Amino acid sequence: MSQANKGIIPIKGKNYRTVAYRVNEFRTDDKYEGWCINTDIIQQTEAEVTMKTIISDQNGMIRGTGFANEVKGRGNINKTSHIENCETSAIGRALASIGLAGEEYASADELAAALIQQGEMKKENSEPELGVAPNVTELDVAMQYLFDAIGYSVKSRKITGSLADLRRAVKDIAANYSAETARKIGPFADQFEKRLTQDKGNAQAA
């Protein structure tokens, strides 16, 4: 049986686990006995949906969270199933937050969607060359990962994640991507940190 059939998929030289694979790990590992996964819609419009998944232990203590945002019609899957796709991504990120991520924090599902989305965005903004696949760079994938990790919506420019989510993502990028990519991500991470710090200060002052 191939790695893909087992739910472990090699992409760009690294192994990514599908969300279904990691849900099965969660359900069958004795150390998670009595734990549960709960997913809720925290924002929904005609155009997009944002979800949050919480993983709680047998005592009801929150052990992990995950956010996801999907735009209706963005990509083939989201033309018909953007809510289901968003739920899968949120669950995958919550599982990763408790250690069920394998070699990479993002799941195979998420990275494949990111690669497809990047390719579609480039095709919308340029004349495609016949027979040439979109050139998705490591920086593209790392940037999409950063956006997903902090729940950043390019369309609304809102952030639904936390400072902890941002710092964890920056650490993951530094560990799993080239030094050049991590350096280029730095200024974006700094701007996000300023916004999150400011938002936290405003919330405390209110």
pLDDT of residue 43 exceeding 60: yes
Residues 119 and 201 in one domain: no
Residues 80 and 147 in one domain: no
Residues 109 and 27 in one domain: yes
Residues 173 and 113 in one domain: no
Residues 35 and 101 in one domain: yes
Residues 193 and 111 in one domain: no
How many domains does one find in the chain?
Answer: 2
Residues 82 and 92 in one domain: yes
SS3 (DSSP) at 11: strand
The predicted-structure confidence for 50-109, as pLDDT tens digits, reads as follows 999 999 999 999 999 989 888 888 766 677 788 988 888 889 888 888 988 754 444 444
- Residue pair 151/159 in contact by the 8 Å Cβ criterion: yes
DSSP letter (8 states) at residue 187 = H
Each residue of 161-188: b (16+ CB within 10 Å) or e? bbeebbebbbebbeebbeeebbebbeee
- What is the reported pTM? 0.50
Domain closes at, from 81, 101, 136: 136
Residues 120 and 178 in one domain: no
